Structures are given as C-alpha cells and as structure tokens.
Structure 1
Amino acid sequence: MKHSILAIALAALIAAPAAAHEYGFAGILSSDNMEELDEITLSVGKPLADGPLMLKSGTGYELEITSDGTGELALEGSGFFRAIWINEIVINDLEVRPFGIESLEFDDEGTMEIEFIAIKPGQYFLRIPGSSGESQRVDIIIQ
C-alpha cells in the first residue's frame, strides 16, 4: 500500500509542469514577465533619474539609457551588473549578448537598451564615475 501511494505521488510530480513554464515556452524571458523601466538620461549637470529603481528578483526588465551628447559620460555599477543576468544590449539595432559588463560609456548622443533579469536581491547603484552628487547616481533595489 505504501509503495503504491508513493508511486502515484511520484508520477504526479513527474507529470506536473515545472514552475518555469508558467510564463510559456520562453520561461522567465516571456513577454508576460518583462517590464519597462523609466529611462536613464545622461546629460551634463542634470539628474540621471527621478528616483530609485525598485526591481523584483526573477523579473525581466528593459532599461533605456540615453545620452544627449552634452559630454562624454559613462555609467559604472559593477555590483548591479553582477546582480543581474543580461540577455542583450541593443545599440543602433545591433544586439550584443555579453557575459558581463563593468561599465558603459557614451562618447556621443545615442540610446542603448539593456534587457536583463534581476537575480540577486540587495541595494545597488549606477553612477557617473568620479561624481559625488546624489543626482549623478541612481539607486537600485532588487527585492
């Protein structure tokens, strides 16, 4: 009797769909699991964003970063970049699928889009290297 109940329970577990399939065949990369974040704007003397970015671990995000060309500006945030899995970075309709990144730099005006999955909960930031002002930094919280 014990063996037949165990066998039935095991068969039910094997037949049950995995939790990753709740979003469809693409799993966590499914469009149902993707959110668009507010754009980050790089401009000399202007704030990067209106406030902190609140993210949820396991959720996919699209983040546009735009430079207006007023200066050669970069963003650094190695802690944040190590806490996410980057699916792609799109620059001028060219897709890059990096293993990891340390920073991003804009020599001229333009937009890049980063598609990623938030992974590791914690508090992170992106900032303009060498800056100390609050407006030159975006705080990011992954819950």
Structure 2
Amino acid sequence: MAKLLCIPLILATSIAFADDDDDKGFGQAGILSKTNRGEIPEISLSSGMPLLENGDTITLKSGTYYELEITADGSQELALAGARFFRAIWVDEFVVEGIEIRPYGIDSMEFDEAGEAELSFVAIKPGSYRFGVPGSDLQTVTITIE
C-alpha cells in the first residue's frame, strides 16, 4: 500500500519543480531554445510587387530557429513555391489564420484571398534556394543557408 502512495507524491513533486525550472529557462534546450532564434524579414504577397521591401535575398544560419511571417493582400491569387528550400529546413509548424499545422513536408502554398500565415522552422542544409511565385522573376527571393 505504501508503494502506491509514493507514486502520486513523486509525480506531484516532479510537476511542481518542472514549473520552477521553466521560469529559469531550463524548460527548452538546444535548437528550440529561446536563445537560438534568428530574425527573418516578413514576406508580402501582392500582385506585381516584390516579396521583400529591401532586396531579394535572405541569409539564414544553419541550426537556428526562425519564424517567417507571410501576408497576402488578396489582390491576386498567388502561390509560393520552393520545394528545395522546404527540403533544406525542419518545419516545426505552419500556422494559417490561427490553425496550427505540423506537416511532414511542404512543397508550396497558395493564397486565394487576403490572409496571414507563419512558418516556424529550423534552417538545416547549407545552400542557396529559390523561393517565390512560380514563373515570376520579380516575386522571387533567394534564401541562403550558411
């Protein structure tokens, strides 16, 4: 009987201390930790407009966690493709209008109307990758993973 009472007590103690550890930053480690976050510019989808405000190149660091915000204004139905880029990253989640999707892989995405999406990922494989609207040179970004 004494053994059965010890298990809930051990679990309750572990849960209580786990909450304390999260406050000190011990909850996450490695590539998903808050100290391993990189900045990436937002991509804007609009008919006939470049995807980025400044330039057409994004440089990422391999092993770093990023959150890419994509906003479409709905001026035209536009797709973003980048199969090679998507295979060079590990996708944590893809959030579309508040719906969290954790896919095994992505090849492309299409915005039929105005909306927002956020792609959370870890850059993995070094190289240069084309990402953008298929068939458009203006609406293309080169993403380099170093």
Which residue does the alignment assign to 2:110? 105
Matches within 5 A, 1:83-122: 83-122=88-127
Structure 2 counterpart of 1:124, one-letter code: Y
Q: Which of the residues 115, 129, 136 maps onto 2:139?
A: 136
Q: Report the secondary structure of 1:28's partner residue.
A: helix
Structure 1 residue 30 displacement after superposition: 1.1
Which residue does the alignment assign to 1:124? 129
Do structure 1's residue 35 and structure 2's residue 38 form an aligned pair? Answer: yes
Do structure 1's residue 57 and structure 2's residue 40 form an aligned pair? Answer: no
| Count of residues in correspondence between the two structures | 119
- For normalisation by structure 2, the TM-score amounts to 0.78
Matches within 5 A, 1:69-84: 69-84=74-89
Give, in whole Å, the separation in 2 of the partners of 1:103 and 1:26.
Answer: 30
User: What are structure 2's unaligned runs of at least 5 residues?
Assistant: 1-24
Structure 2 counterpart of 1:87, one-letter code: D
Query: Which aligned segments of 4 or more residues in structure 1 are displaced greater than 4 angstroms?
Result: none
- For normalisation by structure 1, the TM-score amounts to 0.79
User: What are structure 1's unaligned runs of at least 5 residues?
Assistant: 1-22
Query: CA offsets per residue over residues 32-58 of structure 1, 9 Å max, x none?
Result: 111231100110011011221000000
